[in-house]
Structure 1
Amino acid sequence: MLPSRLSRHFAPYFAHIPFQIVSLITVTLLAHVTLSGGRVAASLYALKHGGSEAWAGIAFSAFGLMPVLLSLQMGRWIDRVGTRRVMRICQLLMISGLVLSATVQSLPTILITGLLAGTGFAGYMLAANVCVSYMDFKHEGDRVGMLAWLQMGNSVSSVLGPTFVGILIDHSGYRMAFGALAAVVVCSLLAGLRANLPDGTRESKPKSSEPSIARAVFRDARLLRIYLLAMTVSLSWDAFTFMVPVLGQTRGYSATTIGLVLSSFAVGTFAIRALLPWLSRRMAEWRMLTVSFALAACVFFTLPLADNALLHAALGFVFGLAAGVGQPNILGLIYRAMPPGRAGEGAGLRAMMGNMMGLTGPSLFGAITALFGAVPVFIMVGGIMSGSCWQARRGERSAQATAPA
């Protein structure tokens, strides 16, 4: 009885899902398998073949180095040549890097693979997100939901990729693992060629007097609020994934228990992103952000007081629900606020700022923990989330005031 009621409730919405998004999610899932699996293969190869733990960390980080430096330029490139062309070129870049390590096995080639595959995937994902901004939806809230589904596919492949690579390494070696990852991207490329995905380019070249997106953001209070909130979303995500193991270890939790807490967080993000297409038709972006920041603040203030692993896991699930709605709603607001033909540059700036937080945040958290312990970090992040909740509420009121009557 209950499943039939749920199906009747959700069926009218799912009938409006365009086939384009299903194609894009499938292609993106295949592409993301190579990133999650490639990082594992590269770091394990470095450890296995004479490299230290430091080399393993460098091999893992190589996949994220160039996106930090090039995200804004990638966004401008997407605006100039279109999403489809960028996705295909980036897939070819990923294939070339993976084939290199499949044919020539050495630490230098592993690092080059990380740079090529990481850059290719970052450009591909940026173009895929912008591609959704060009799709036609009957309800504007559907765009946020489809962005969430695109990232939900990434969540699935984050589990499949390392498992797939681990099995291949154990049974066939590293050469076969990298070769199989390259074959997965080839499948992604072929599937993308058959998908009728929307494209978009600037109608004219940018004028010399036209301000950059970064300058426009600092001139526009509305845009500045959106991008600052985007940074706090990334900050809270990194704070949770970095600090929960630290807090767990100080309390004597086993690695399995810490993994359970992090897995509960992943389940929360997956669950809310699965429901976000339905939820986005009932709540505007600013309202969802206000609620999510409030939940995140409560989680960070409560975690230091939690005295058992089950409560930690429950808080992890709640934070997953809060964090999972952040990026899709932020992207929806950015695409709506961007001038025509500049969606790629706007998304590129957000990606660059998020990647910068990913590089600087954990180092800052580690330094504070070394000096004062873990609790001040949770209190600090909880305070930032509380301020973000207030700013999101201000954004909601501003949107309501400017909305047409």
Structure 2
Amino acid sequence: MLPSRPGSALTRAFARVNPQIFSLIAVSVLAHVTMSGGRVSASLFALQHGGSGFSAGIAYSLYGLLPALLSLHMGRWIDRIGPRIVMRSSLVVMIFGLSLPYLWPILPVIFVSAALCGFGFGTYMLAANVSVSYMAFKHEGDRIGMIGWLQLGNSVSSVVGPTLVGAVIDNHGFSQAFGTLALIVLGSLVVSYRVHLPDGTRDANRGEGGQSIVRTVFTNPRLLRIYLLAMTVSLSWDGFNFMVPVLGHERGYSATTIGMVLSAFAVGTFGIRAALPWLSRHLSEWRMLCLSFGLTALVFFLLPFASFSFLLAGLGFLFGLAAGVGQPSILNLIYRAMPAGKAGEGAGLRAMMGNFMGLTGPTVYGSIAALFGAVPVFLLIGCIMSISSWQAHHGYRSSVASA
């Protein structure tokens, strides 16, 4: 028998795709452009209008503050009224948040805008991810690929957003930049009414009698393992993005070199997420996590000792390949393990834990690096990811035994 050609495999993969995912990606790309661009605009405004680096850090961090505090409640809201209404309501919140600095471009308003936009986008993406759990797929593994494709759209907009606002700020000022972003979100809202977005609501007669997901997770070793591994995914992601510039600064690397390493990471995540529909047909979530964490550990062990820029970029690309499968695999495990009708609450708890790691992780990394240098941080994360790979292997063995 002749081996199947890559083109035919790609054709079969597209044939299995639920068309709703493309509508969701289209709306999400427009929404995420404003998130990535808004963070840059808020930080630059704080720096250029009498603010300090500390003020810029506050403006940037405020985008993640409310999602870190409220994601669990946001997930319950999604379960109660369905993701479609939540997505559209979240876009309205973002439009309002971006309109404020367009009308009153002052630093306190920038802070309020950052909090509102972060809350709106965090809620939107939570609902968008949950909506994938309502989609029909012939093969359960295809759902992982579609979650990856949804995040693939975010990868594209992460490049477009900062480039766009930078050009608008240079030519027309900050007020017009925020106004442009508000118009883009308005376009996203209009598109959401022109396409069919997936929806679903919780059945009040199903589930576990209203038991809190937090209690369910912490009394279920299988679920607890999934959520702890979700935290290590965030830990490694934030560790790489925060510590590579720190390592580069310690060793006198140019900004171009550091940027090249981070760009290679982005290319790796883009490539693996594009291939997820095919990969998920051949490997289970636990297998992908085991390999992903193992490769991540290897990268973190090697990064401090890579002395050439091309080696650093190569390791960044490898980490992108590893990191790109983490969140989609975790989310699909959560959707499959959740009690009936609690997909939103389950995803909200994961988002809350991930945002908490994003708020606290860089502070811990920076403190260790200030005392002992960057190398111990990389080695510490490498050890944590080695343990995570071992735990993912245990998860795989348990899933096989219970099958």
Q: TM-score, normalized by length of structure 1?
A: 0.96
Residue aligning to 1:222: 222
The AA in structure 2 aligned to 1:92 is: V
Moved more, 358-367 or 132-141: 358-367
SS of alignment partner, residue 275 of structure 2: helix
Alpha-carbon displacement from aligned partner over 1:247-298 (angstroms, at most 9, x marks no partner): 1222221111011111111111111001111111111100000100110111
State the distance in 1 between where 2:207 and 2:388 align. 35
Cα distance in 1 for partners of 2:343, 2:366 equals: 35
Give distance in 1, aligned partners of 2:379 and 2:47: 36
Matched, 1:23 2:23: yes
Which residue of 1 is the match for residue 185 of structure 2?
Answer: 185
Aligned residue number for residue 129 of structure 2: 129
CA drift of 1:207 comes to 9.1
- Whole-Å separation in 1 of the counterparts to 2:209 and 2:18: 39
Partner in structure 1 of residue 270 of structure 2: 270
Q: Which moved more, 1:283-292 or 1:101-110?
A: 101-110
2:51 corresponds to 1:48: no
Gaps of 5+ in 1: none
Q: Distance in 2 between matches of 1:399 and 1:208?
A: 22
Residue in structure 2 matched with residue 170 of structure 1 by the alignment: 170
SS at match of 2:376: helix
Kindly, what percent of the aligned residue pairs are identical?
64
Q: Deviations over 1:118-163 (max 9, x none)?
A: 1000000000000000000011001000000000110100000000
Deviation at 1:205, TM superposition (A): 7.3
Counterpart of 1:82 in structure 2 is 82
Aligned residue pairs total 400
Partner of 1:71: 71
Mapped to 1, the partners of 2:208 and 2:296 lie a distance apart of 42
Residue type at the aligned position of 2:77: W
Once the two structures are superposed, the pairs formed by residues 95-244 of structure 1 within 5 Å of their partners are 95-204=95-204, 210-244=210-244
> How far 1:175 moved relative to its partner?
1.6
Partners of 1:200 and 1:341 within 8 A in 2 = no
In the TM superposition, residue 193 of structure 1 has moved relative to its aligned partner by 1.2
Distance 2:241 2:353 in 1: 18
Partner residue in 1 for 2:340: 340
The residue that corresponds to 2:34 in the other structure is 34
Cα distance, 1:5 vs structure 2: 4.1
Secondary structure of the equivalent of 1:18? Answer: coil
* Alpha carbons of structure 1 residues 207 and 147: separation in structure 2 relative to 1, 3 Å: closer
CA distance in 2, matches of 1:364, 1:96: 34
Contact 2:208 2:339 in 1 (8 A): no
Q: C-alpha distance in 2, partners of 1:100/1:247?
A: 38
Q: Which sections of structure 2, spanning at least 5 residues, go unmatched?
A: none
1:323-349 CA-partner distances (Å, limit 9, x unpaired): 110000000000000011100000000
The residue matched to 1:393 in structure 2 has which SS? helix
Give the corresponding residue for 1:358. 358
Contact 1:262-1:316 within 8 A present in 2 as well: yes
Query: For residue 351 of structure 1, what is the amino acid of its counterpart?
Result: A
Q: Secondary structure at the match of 1:307?
A: coil
Distance 1:207 1:122 in 2: 25
Contact persistence 2:206–2:340 (CA under 8 A)? no
Counterpart code for 1:181 = L
1:283 aligned onto 2:283: yes
Asked whether 1:392 is paired with 2:392, we answer yes
| Change beyond 3 A, Cα 1:116–1:15 | same
